[in-house]
Homo-oligomer: A and B are copies of this chain.
Amino acid sequence: MSKPGKVGARLKGSRLKVRFCTNESQKSRAELVGQLRRLGFDISEGEVTAPAPAACQILKERGLRPYLLIHDGVRSEFDQIDTSNPNCVVIADAGESFSYQNMNNAFQVLMELENPVLISLGKGRYYKETSGLMLDVGPYMKALEYACGIKAEVVGKPSPEFFKSALQTIGVEAHQAVMIGDDIVGDVGGAQRCGMRALQVRTGKFRPSDEHHPEVKADGYVDNLAEAVDLLLQHTDK
């Protein structure tokens, strides 16, 4: 397998338009891009579609002032947002900040609203760290939904609006685009529902059972990102 940086350079050197779509909600784009750069990717903040800035746009458009149940690492993304006298809740992968106290604060804010609005940055069940599986934002979103008898608005993959905004930014139609990702439901299923084709890489959170998923079938499976890029460039050259 090529190094990720090399793969990135090959993509950027081609005439393909590239957009990075992430559900990362523990880090700001600045921090995320820093990490990718250290891995050798030539990437800037402007090339990343992430749920926190997408949520900020929604908050501004609708005059919403959130109670933020989020990780400190992503708080800087909300610097320009008025959080006084909250009239909604934004929940993200808060990790250790998912204390009973913070959950109860969010719950009390929602229960005091006539039309409670809960915005969730993704709805992932869990993710893998070296220390083991970790609860993601989804379970906590479900907890607040049940407690308040409401339904959250999900910002991030697999929400169609999220994929559409990524496509819009680079001026590409869904049928012209290919999604590459390791999550059979969030990446592959979400992109396909938007009319995109989608490849699943057999790395990261991929599990062999994904290739027989009851609901989602990828348009192709590749062993890693390098193979996906090879495939795309072959088709582009034709």
Whole-angstrom distance from the CB of A112 to the nearest CB of chain B?
Answer: 9
Whole-angstrom distance from the CB of A133 to the nearest CB of chain B?
Answer: 6
Interface of A is mostly: helix
Instruction: A136 to B107: give the CA distance in the assembly, Å.
Output: 11
Binding site for B on A (CB under 8 A): 94-101, 103-104, 107-108, 111, 125-126, 132-136, 138-140, 142-149
Q: Is the CB of B144 within 8 A of A103?
A: no
Query: A142 touches which one: B97, B107, B146 (CB < 8 A)?
Result: B146
Q: Is the CB of A111 within 8 A of B97?
A: no
Instruction: A103 to B111: give the CA distance in the assembly, Å.
Output: 23
When C-beta atoms are compared, the residue in chain B nearest to A123 turns out to be B146
Query: A103 touches which one: B98, B104, B132, B147 (CB < 8 A)?
Result: B98
Given A143-B142, A147-B125, A147-B126, do A134 and B104 touch, yes or no (CB 8 Å)? Answer: yes
Instruction: A94 to B101: give the CA distance in the assembly, Å.
Output: 12
Cβ–Cβ < 8 Å partners of A138 in chain B = 146-147
Cβ–Cβ < 8 Å partners of A95 in chain B = 100
Given A139-B143, A147-B138, do A101 and B96 touch, yes or no (CB 8 Å)? Answer: yes
Query: A139 touches which one: B94, B125, B147 (CB < 8 A)?
Result: B147
Query: A146 touches which one: B97, B103, B139 (CB < 8 A)?
Result: B139
Instruction: A134 to B101: give the CA distance in the assembly, Å.
Output: 9
Instruction: A87 to B99: give the CA distance in the assembly, Å.
Output: 25
Q: What are some 14 contacts across the A-B interface (CB < 8 A)? A: A96-B101, A98-B99, A98-B103, A100-B135, A104-B134, A104-B135, A107-B126, A108-B132, A125-B146, A126-B147, A135-B147, A138-B147, A139-B144, A142-B142
Whole-angstrom distance from the CB of A150 to the nearest CB of chain B?
Answer: 11
Cβ–Cβ < 8 Å partners of A143 in chain B = 135, 139-140, 142-143
Instruction: A209 to B43: give the CA distance in the assembly, Å.
Output: 56
Instruction: A55 to B202: give the CA distance in the assembly, Å.
Output: 42
When C-beta atoms are compared, the residue in chain B nearest to A99 turns out to be B99
Cβ–Cβ < 8 Å partners of A139 in chain B = 103, 107, 142-144, 146-147
Instruction: A100 to B26: give the CA distance in the assembly, Å.
Output: 15
